[in-house]
Structure 1
Amino acid sequence: MILLGFDVEEFDLPFEYGKSIPFDEQLEISTRGTQTILNLLKQKNVKATFFCTANYAINRPEIIGLIMTDGHEIASHGYYHSEFEAEHLLQSKLALEEVSGTPVTGFRMARMMPVDEAEIAKAGYEYNSSLNPTWLPGRYNNLKKPRTWFYDRNVLQIPASVSSSLRFPLFWLSFHNLPMLLLKRMSEGAYKKDGYLNLYFHPWEFTDLHDKERFGIPGYVAKNSGEPLTERLSNFIDWAKAKGYPFARTTDFCSTIKNKYKEAVVLPLWAAK
């Protein structure tokens, strides 16, 4: 199955490039992108998971309501996007459950940064999708970690998908920059090898990011942002459906793993599938 995940957060990316935009505008840009995504998913009859910061959810509860009404999953993306303390793990879970009115069982760390797995388990999460098992210069090097799902402290770890060879990341930036034919070919190889794809995006990508003066975002990030990215994802969904690849929420994937591999919870630390 294919797991589409969208990290719904306050749009603070410009801060990394020396720019600053008001908080209300951060929320507006993320909200506009989220609405575009919801419209696309409804059109394609696809369910997905929205990893939300509590900060966003508290300020835009109506969007959380729309996500739930459409049958998608709410998971945690921390309390704030650019600030993290261990206690935020439980605090964000509780805040999101209050806003959404549903249990929150999944977590993804902002920017896929390392997080204490013992704290994840302590906060009561069933799964964590915070690992990109590749090398991203200046960000992380996870080439020695498992490329597919595994258990750590009884929490199911679901790494982001990478190509079947060389571990090329099949993440949001790939959808901006790779030719679609190549992206589909690598995705097909990973799907056949792993049995699933775990892909992640951000709502702000589905808005136009080319205003260099306002956002300071480099060209490889702004490329194909907004409507072109919506069209690319739409094309990818059509291709995947034609291949017979089903789409699912991450929590549904977790249930499948637990039901099929009940003994997995006793596997040793870092045991891969």
Structure 2
Amino acid sequence: MILLSFDIEEFDMPLEYDGQISLEQQLQISRTGTIAILDVLKKYNAKATFFSTVIFAESNQDIIHRLLEEGHELASHTWFHSDFKNEHLKSSRERLSELFDTEVIGLRMPRMSPVDETEVKTAGYVYNSSINPIFLPGRYNNLGVSKSYFKLKEVIQIPASVSPIFRIPLFWLSFHNFPTFLYRYLAKRSWKDNGYLNIYFHPWEFADIKNSEFKLPNFTTKNTGQDMIARFDTFLEWLVKNKQKFCTIKEFVDIIN
């Protein structure tokens, strides 16, 4: 079973590298990428989960309506991508639900940041997919966390997938930089080990972000834009040939809960 998810947000990563980008550019790049993602998913009838910030959703309501109409799940990525307060947990969930008349039960914190699970439960979430169970220097050390789903404070935790041995991450950065054959091998090992694969991407990966003003390092821009669209398309084709089924995280939670 394949759990595809996308963090649709303000593309503020250039600011982490002292680059220059306006909020308008951030939103436009993410909009362009989200449309490309939806087109590929539709081609393979693959359902996915979209974790959206309120800022992106309010500015791109037509996109959110489209993804819901095509059978995808809308979940919360809090209110802003670079400014978080605990009250944003509840307010973002309620705002997204109100705007699009849909049940929002899932959370992913921006940049997979840690969060108080008591606050997550109080805010009304059923699941949280904010854990990358690896050691990433300068970001997090989750080597002691389960690779498979588990419950914490009554909230179902669904970590991002890693390889069974050595916990090699299978998130977006690996998808860009690993040789295709290696990524597919590790992905197959992971879904056989856990019974599912949970991997996530961002819309800006599917857009043109090779702008000198952004000052992004090569490992973030490699295989982005049209290269990423083609790479992702062939990956989904490969999954289909391997008889893998796609489902939203909400559907997966219904199965395991």
TM over 0.5: yes
| Distance in 2, Cα, partners of 1:224 & 1:109 | 25
- 1:158-204 deviation per Cα after TM superposition (whole angstroms, max 9, x unaligned): 00000010000000001110011000100111111000000000000
| Distance in 2, Cα, partners of 1:92 & 1:176 | 30
| Distance in 2, Cα, partners of 1:214 & 1:231 | 25
Q: CA deviation at 1:243?
A: 1.2
Q: CA deviation at 1:20?
A: 2.6
- 1:138-159 deviation per Cα after TM superposition (whole angstroms, max 9, x unaligned): 1111001111100011111000
2:120 — aligned with what?
Answer: 120
| Distance in 2, Cα, partners of 1:239 & 1:48 | 17
2:94 matches 1:102: no
2:45 matches 1:51: no
| Distance in 2, Cα, partners of 1:41 & 1:245 | 14
- The number of equivalent residue pairs is 257
TM-score (norm 2): 0.98
- 1:181-236 deviation per Cα after TM superposition (whole angstroms, max 9, x unaligned): 0001001111110000000000001012222x221110011000011111111111
Tell whether the 8 Å contact from 1:210 to 1:219 is kept in structure 2 after alignment: no
Where in structure 2 are there 5+ consecutive unaligned residues? Answer: none
| Distance in 1, Cα, partners of 2:106 & 2:67 | 16
| Distance in 1, Cα, partners of 2:67 & 2:240 | 22
Q: CA deviation at 1:23?
A: 1.2
RMSD of aligned Cα (Å)? 0.8
Q: CA deviation at 1:67?
A: 1.0
| Distance in 2, Cα, partners of 1:242 & 1:67 | 24
- 1:1-53 deviation per Cα after TM superposition (whole angstroms, max 9, x unaligned): 10000000011111001023111111100000000000000111101000000
> Equivalences for 1:109-148 in 2 at 5 Å?
109-148=109-148
Given residue 40 of structure 1, which amino acid in structure 2 is its aligned partner? Answer: V
| Distance in 1, Cα, partners of 2:225 & 2:112 | 23
Tell whether the 8 Å contact from 1:74 to 1:100 is kept in structure 2 after alignment: no
| Distance in 2, Cα, partners of 1:26 & 1:123 | 28
Query: 4+ runs of 1 displaced by more than 3 Å?
Result: none
| Distance in 1, Cα, partners of 2:44 & 2:67 | 15
2:63 — aligned with what?
Answer: 63
3-state DSSP class of the match of 2:209? coil
| Distance in 2, Cα, partners of 1:200 & 1:214 | 26
1:30 — aligned with what?
Answer: 30
| Distance in 2, Cα, partners of 1:210 & 1:136 | 24
TM-score (norm 1): 0.93
Percent sequence identity over matched residues? 48
Q: CA deviation at 1:72?
A: 0.5
1:219 — aligned with what?
Answer: 218
| Distance in 2, Cα, partners of 1:99 & 1:166 | 42
- 1:107-137 deviation per Cα after TM superposition (whole angstroms, max 9, x unaligned): 0000001011000000010000000000111
| Distance in 1, Cα, partners of 2:99 & 2:29 | 21
